[in-house]
Structure 1
């Protein structure tokens, strides 16, 4: 399992980085240009990223294990703040570069029965599982700008709850500038 201690691309301790983003919250000013497209992708975000690749898409798992969600994540999931969940932190990379940092919080109740597969995704995309299982449905997409001052952090983010009956998990995706500044989406 990759270490959670550092993220060489960002030169920041990875555990601090992902948790600070998850705790930052979003505010929602108007976003224009190619970044707007990426914030509003419907359906599988992974599929959209794969279509943008010229060569190769891969998931770089930075950390996964049982941990506490941030207070903001627990509030969003409507669970007590100090209840363990399965946390998965990954970089979604295209053509050898990290494009998106993603953090998923999966409450323990979501990991029963056939959903235990969520514990063993490895480098497989989470979205591939969620969008192929008819029991999982994405709720409204929240988009915006992270409330962080450091220029080393990505500013644009999106998040949504995925529901399976009474269970829900939270997926947060933080867009790195290499995704939307280097070349606009070819579909625009």
Structure 2
């Protein structure tokens, strides 16, 4: 599977809502996955024989006020695909402040290692509330899914979680691709 880099970043323009107040969520079992408080990485690993991270890109970006409310103007962006037995299940987008990168330099050097392992193995990372998104047809996320031979016949769902490390913020967003939605619905 090869994606051309001129399309990076993929996750721009997603509108997020508080999961606690959003009234229209998908039915179970996908809702359970969206609202799960534990490590998505670990949960995905439990569903496959081989778990891989495919790095789509990483770079410094100028903040989008709709996505980041902090004072920082520049953020480190990392986008990956989480693949189970060779099939992309989840698109993940991480935003990290320069101050956090100075404290945790390993965040900038993850490469194809899963971020979730670090976040849930270090008790100094504090997980916050979950936001959700509902992505309609024609969005860049749906185009990404189609490029992965996973055309969308229904809207995509995602979740976003705010983390902090010694008061320094980090945001991780995860969108469930059609292959994941199909597999989850059969569990």
- TM-score w.r.t. structure 1 length? 0.80
Secondary structure of the structure 1 residue equivalent to 2:66:
helix
What is the total number of aligned residue pairs between the two structures?
Answer: 168
Question: Counterpart of 1:150?
Answer: 138
Per-residue deviation, residues 40-70 of structure 1 (Å, max 9, x unmatched): 22211000000011x2110000001222233
- The answer to whether the 8 A contact 2:156-2:175 is kept is yes
Question: Counterpart of 1:10?
Answer: none
State how far apart, in whole Å, the 1-side matches of 2:107 and 2:121 are: 13
Secondary structure of the structure 1 residue equivalent to 2:138:
coil
Alignment CA distance shift 1:36-1:4 (3 Å)? same
Per-residue deviation, residues 49-99 of structure 1 (Å, max 9, x unmatched): 00011x211000000122223322222xx225xx11111000000011110
State how far apart, in whole Å, the 2-side matches of 1:168 and 1:139 are: 10
| Runs (5+) with no aligned partner, structure 2 | 144-154
Question: What is the RMSD computed on CA atoms of the aligned residues?
Answer: 2.1
Secondary structure of the structure 2 residue equivalent to 1:74:
coil
| Runs (5+) with no aligned partner, structure 1 | 7-12
Please say if 1:116 is aligned against 2:105. Answer: yes
Q: CA deviation at 1:145?
A: 1.3
Moved over 4 A (4+): none
- TM-score w.r.t. structure 2 length? 0.80
Q: CA deviation at 1:185?
A: 6.4
Question: Counterpart of 1:31?
Answer: 26
